[in-house]
Amino acid sequence: MIFVFKTNVDSISKVKKVTPKLNRLFPNSKWNFDLEDCDNILRFECKDDNIEKVIFLMKVIGFECEAL
């Protein structure tokens, strides 16, 4: 499954803050940020439906995250 999220992660330093947490909680997933997109897109690919978990994690660590 591929999910797309709008975020406020707008710099490499913010991506570096998120990286270890996403990798730890979702070890079997692939994800990336598109910092050139106006919505700072997070593309998330995994086998399970993790939409709510991704949104919750992002909000807990201080970022906005909304499924598109």
Per-residue model confidence (pLDDT) at position 48: 83
- Determine the pLDDT at residue 47: 87
Cα distance between residue 36 and residue 46, in whole Å = 23
Q: Tell if the pTM clears 0.85, that is, is over it.
A: yes
Identify any residues that bridge with 66 across adjacent strands, giving them in sequence order: 6
Measured between alpha carbons, how far is 7 from 11 in angstroms, rounded to an integer? Answer: 11
Task: Return the structure tokens found at 34.
Answer: 């598109």
pLDDT at position 32? 97
| Domain ranges for the chain | 2-67
pLDDT category of residue 67 using cuts at 50, 70 and 90: very high
**Topology given in CATH for the domain delimited by 2-67:** Alpha-Beta Plaits (3.30.70)
Q: How confident is the model over 5-55, as pLDDT tens digits?
A: 999 999 999 999 999 999 999 999 999 999 999 999 999 999 888 899 999
CA distance 62 to 68: 19
